[in-house]
Amino acid sequence: MLVALLLSVFPALAQDWNYRVRPGDTLWDLGARYLKPSVPWEQLQTHNRVVDPYRLPPGTQLRFPVAWLQVQPAPARVLATRGPVQVGDTDQPGLRDVAQGDLLRIGQHLVTGADASVTIAFADDSRLQLRENSRLRLDQLSRYGHTGMVDTRLRLEQGRSSNRVTPAKGPASRYIIDAPTATSSVRGTVFRVSAGGDGRSAATEVIEGKVQVGNRRGQRLVTPGHATRSDSPDTAPGAMETLLPAPVLDRTQLRLDPLPAQLAWSPVAGADHYRAEVVRADQPEILLFAQDTRATALSVPDLPPGELRVLVRAVNAQGVEGLDAERDFLVRDQPPAPLTVRPVNQQTINSARPRFEWSQVGSAETSVLQIAHDAQFLQPVLEQESRGTHLRPARDLPPGAYFWRVASRDGNGHRGRFGQPVALTISDAPVDPALQPPQAAKGQLTLRWQAGQAGQRYRVQLDRRGDFAQPLLDRELDQPEVTLKRPWRGTLHVRVQYIDEDGYLGPFSPAQQVKLPCRTCYGAGGGALLLWLLL
């Protein structure tokens, strides 16, 4: 039945491929270039009724029967991947990862994971984008010698694909996608195919050109702006239905530069949800970002630099995707993002306003700090600018998990891409320092605590009652220790505060008690009293 379908779609398969003679052509040269080794050039002479094989008038047509033409394997090439994409062989168990530049051959199958896609190019530069949670088998990948005609036959077993097919260059050119319920055949067009499943019909959606969709129960020629759905291989493809119109992008809420990009569009009557994608403007089959949403607004996180295109389309309750709203935009990669210095990745800090530092970028006029709860920075909780290489948030950050990143802005106000996000945890949990038993010697008492970061100073307070209203000692120090020449007897309360090099005062540590021995005890023992405040 498939053979009958193909013959109805491609009636020229039984015809000849035509070649226009060029100066210097001879029958034996053309035979060696295009014919199978088993077909002598004399048959070409007879088929074309050539009287003088030594003189072929330039511009005349030679007819080559398709069955006589050379046929060679034509591997497909992986143009781009996004997320987990794997390939398997029919004669070997298991799957292996796919990378850009890999060659794919007849019999292999591609599998994409969640939030993943792969774009492949065929011998005639036709291109297919396989979307998330999909499975595609490569049934036929061949070409007819140097004629430019290719035979590409694919089987979409699961998921969705988008296709941009190069116009056919001869009667034997074919591009066919088999879905579980119908076959889509084209000779040059832009269209999408879904395999159906999960209670939804398989569908073919045509954007440009025409697509013949059929099975053993019937055929349907689908024209641009329309789709047909196939419920079962035992029922003919359904009547053409009009694709939902493209959403109207809201220019007042559209912000594509700088990232994260903000999108908004008007609702589309009949839409169940929407599909938003970002692709390369020069190669729209290469998918960089994709998300389904029921809302009419979306934030797009970090994207690679270059000329990009955002696409938004409505999807009806049957899963048929409509026409695209398009907008091109530029993601700049200059000036480059600074290198982050501190806080380091996964660091926990007991400060509601930590100091962030980064490297100096020569072409940057200012730097932009962003802080968010998510690594995609879809909803930043803080964005602040600095002319230097460090910054402290203008307001306190509540305890919790955060990510921070920095971008550079040049003198023209252009902001480059953000650097990699750095994980950070803000904690307000008090630290209970472990104290060593006091020791006294030579009439002195020395207190020591854990050293802070480079450049930090310290403020230490001692108090008799513990409320520190009138401390007995209140001193700033460059080193994490203090020596008391005339220590008091009884109980002292001690607390320490870290002071950053920019003057920011951190919180005081919880107060700790030091029980002092009698005055006559000083000088009776060995080394100085050591008090470690492990803050």
**Torsion angle of the four alpha carbons 520, 526, 529, 533, in this order, in degrees rounded to the nearest 10:** -160
Rounded CA separation 419/427 (Å): 24
Residue 42 lies in a domain: yes
- Both 387 and 367 in one domain: the answer is yes
Rounded CA separation 225/325 (Å): 13
* Per-residue DSSP letter, 28: H
Residue 192 lies in a domain: no
Residue 400 lies in a domain: yes
Q: Domain with 282 in it: what CATH number?
A: 2.60.40.10
- Both 453 and 410 in one domain: the answer is no
Residue 99 lies in a domain: no
Q: How many Cα atoms are found within 13 Å in the side-chain-facing hemisphere of 127?
A: 15
Task: Give the predicted TM-score (pTM) of the model.
Answer: 0.72
Residue 77 lies in a domain: no
- Chosen domain end from 68, 93, 126: 68
Q: Quick one: which of 159, 163, 207 has its CA closest to 180?
A: 159
Span 5-48, pLDDT tens digits: 444 444 444 589 999 999 999 999 999 999 999 999 999 999 99
Which structural domain, as residue segments, surrounds residue 406? 340-426
Cα 475 to the center of its chain, rounded Å: 53
What is residue 530's predicted lDDT score, i.e. its pLDDT?
Answer: 46
What is residue 486's predicted lDDT score, i.e. its pLDDT?
Answer: 60
- Both 473 and 418 in one domain: the answer is no
Residue 49 lies in a domain: yes
- Both 29 and 49 in one domain: the answer is yes
The yes-or-no verdict on residue 246 having pLDDT over 50 is: yes
- Both 290 and 364 in one domain: the answer is no
Question: Of the given ranges (113-122, 282-291, 369-378), which has the lowest mean pLDDT?
Answer: 369-378
- Both 287 and 351 in one domain: the answer is no
Residues pairing with 17 in the sheet: 64
Q: Which of 391-429 are b and which e, b meaning 16 or more Cβ less than 10 Å from the residue's Cβ? A: bbbeeebeeeebbbbbbbbbeeeebbbbbebbebebeee
Residue 97 has which token pair? 């990862």
Bond into 258 cis (ω within 30): yes
- Chosen domain end from 38, 68, 98: 68
- Both 320 and 368 in one domain: the answer is no
What is residue 207's predicted lDDT score, i.e. its pLDDT?
Answer: 97
Q: DSSP readout, 373-398?
A: SSTT-SS-SEEEEESSSEE--SSPPP
Rounded CA separation 172/166 (Å): 14
Rounded CA separation 296/263 (Å): 8
Domain count, the chain: 4
- Both 457 and 490 in one domain: the answer is yes
Residue 373 lies in a domain: yes
- Chosen domain end from 368, 396, 426: 426
- Contact, 68 vs 172, CB < 8 A? no
Q: How many Cα atoms are found within 13 Å in the side-chain-facing hemisphere of 211?
A: 33
Q: Domain with 511 in it: what CATH number?
A: 2.60.40
What is residue 288's predicted lDDT score, i.e. its pLDDT?
Answer: 94
Residue 312 has which token pair? 């938004």
Count CB atoms within 10 A of the CB of residue 108. 19
- Both 285 and 311 in one domain: the answer is yes
Count CB atoms within 10 A of the CB of residue 47. 15
Rounded CA separation 486/98 (Å): 74
The yes-or-no verdict on residue 520 having pLDDT over 60 is: no
Q: What is the 3 state secondary structure string of 212-250?
A: EEEECCEEEEECCCEEEEECCCCCCCCCCEECCCCCCEC
Q: Of all residues in the chain, what percent carry a pLDDT higher than 70?
A: 90
What is residue 502's predicted lDDT score, i.e. its pLDDT?
Answer: 80
The yes-or-no verdict on residue 299 having pLDDT over 60 is: yes
Residue 255 lies in a domain: no
Span 129-179, pLDDT tens digits: 999 999 999 999 999 999 999 999 999 999 999 999 999 888 999 999 999
Rounded CA separation 369/423 (Å): 14
Residues pairing with 308 in the sheet: 280, 329
**Torsion angle of the four alpha carbons 267, 271, 276, 281, in this order, in degrees rounded to the nearest 10:** -90
- Both 364 and 421 in one domain: the answer is yes
The yes-or-no verdict on residue 252 having pLDDT over 70 is: yes
Q: How many Cα atoms are found within 13 Å in the side-chain-facing hemisphere of 84?
A: 6
Rounded CA separation 492/514 (Å): 5
- Both 493 and 525 in one domain: the answer is yes
- Contact, 369 vs 356, CB < 8 A? yes
Question: Of the given ranges (97-101, 141-145, 251-255, 275-279), which has the lowest mean pLDDT?
Answer: 251-255
**What confidence tier does 191 reach under pLDDT thresholds 50, 70, 90?**
very high
Q: DSSP readout, 511-528?
A: PEEEEEPPGGGTTSSSS-
Count CB atoms within 10 A of the CB of residue 138. 22
Rounded to a whole number of angstroms, the distance between the first and last alpha carbons of the chain is: 79
Question: Is residue 159 classed as helix, strand or coil in its secondary structure?
Answer: coil
- Both 20 and 58 in one domain: the answer is yes
Which spans in 120-187 are helix H?
none
